Structure 1
Amino acid sequence: MILVNRFLLRKKFIGITLWPFIIVRHRSLCEDKTFLNHERIHLRQQAEMLVLFFYIWYGLEFLYRCFQYGNRYLGYRNISFEREAYQSEKDLNYLGKRPFFGFLKYL
């Protein structure tokens, strides 16, 4: 389910996936197939990790990557979940062929 609400997001965020919702800042993002595919990849990741474990892993890996790269943005971009989603977002058929725990390939 997609929710449009600019007040739920920090300034620099245009969207976020919080199971089972995709929250976007602007209605126009509801038409952006690449963006939505990226967020749907996160929904699949969250589902296969039973949601709670996804957020724990995501947070711990974010801290590790921030330390590793010395930069919050580079830390975020190098989280395995994000690397999978960014690399596969343009392949609109990716979720149909994605292996279970596909993000592990990006560790």
Structure 2
Amino acid sequence: MILIASKYLVPKGYTAIALFPFVFIRYEHLKENAVMLNHERIHLRQQAELLILPFYIWYLADFIAGKLKYSDSRAAYHSICFEKEAYANERNPEYLKHRPFWRFLYYRRPKN
């Protein structure tokens, strides 16, 4: 993971963005935020598993589907399977050591 601090490279409203192999963070002090860094590491693993480009296509498709379903950008963002996995496991520093391959597929399932 190559960590770069720049408020100009991170979209407004976000603190970080993972673009394999980089993680761009809005502010230098975020380098100490273990939860946020783990969240972004999960995204890097997802991107690597999908050979990078398909990840971005799938991510965008999930966002568009969520936007059509919810009409709200924030709800659409949180409906993305990659985000669901990252948020569910960001506080577990051991998660990536034991994470099954393509685990994000589990988060495509609708919750009952």
How far the C-alpha of 1:11 sits from its partner, in A, is 2.0
1:73 paired with 2:70, answer no
Count of aligned pairs between the two proteins: 107
Question: SS in structure 1 opposite 2:8?
Answer: helix
Within 2, Cα distance between the matches of 1:37 and 1:10? 19
Within 2, Cα distance between the matches of 1:89 and 1:78? 16
Instruction: Please give the per-residue CA displacement for 1:38-58, whole angstroms capped at 9, x wherever unaligned.
Output: 000000000000000000000
Unmatched segments (≥5 aa) in structure 1: none
Within 2, Cα distance between the matches of 1:35 and 1:9? 14
Unmatched segments (≥5 aa) in structure 2: none
Instruction: Please give the per-residue CA displacement for 1:60-89, whole angstroms capped at 9, x wherever unaligned.
Output: 110001111121100001100000000000
Q: Which residue in the other structure is 2:12 paired with?
A: 11
46-55 or 7-16: bigger deviation: 7-16
Give the TM-score of the pair, scaled to structure 2.
0.93
Within 2, Cα distance between the matches of 1:10 and 1:56? 18
What value does the CA root-mean-square deviation take over the aligned residues?
Answer: 0.6
After TM superposition, the runs of 4+ consecutive aligned structure 1 residues lying more than 6 A away are: none
Give the TM-score of the pair, scaled to structure 1.
0.97
Question: SS in structure 2 opposite 1:7?
Answer: coil
How far the C-alpha of 1:13 sits from its partner, in A, is 1.5
Question: SS in structure 2 opposite 1:45?
Answer: helix
**AA at the equivalent of 1:94:** Y
Q: Percent identity over the alignment?
A: 44
Q: Which residue in the other structure is 2:60 paired with?
A: 59
**AA at the equivalent of 2:26:** R
Q: How does 1:1-107 map to 2 (within 5 A)?
A: 1-107=2-108
Within 2, Cα distance between the matches of 1:60 and 1:31? 32
26-35 or 40-49: bigger deviation: 26-35
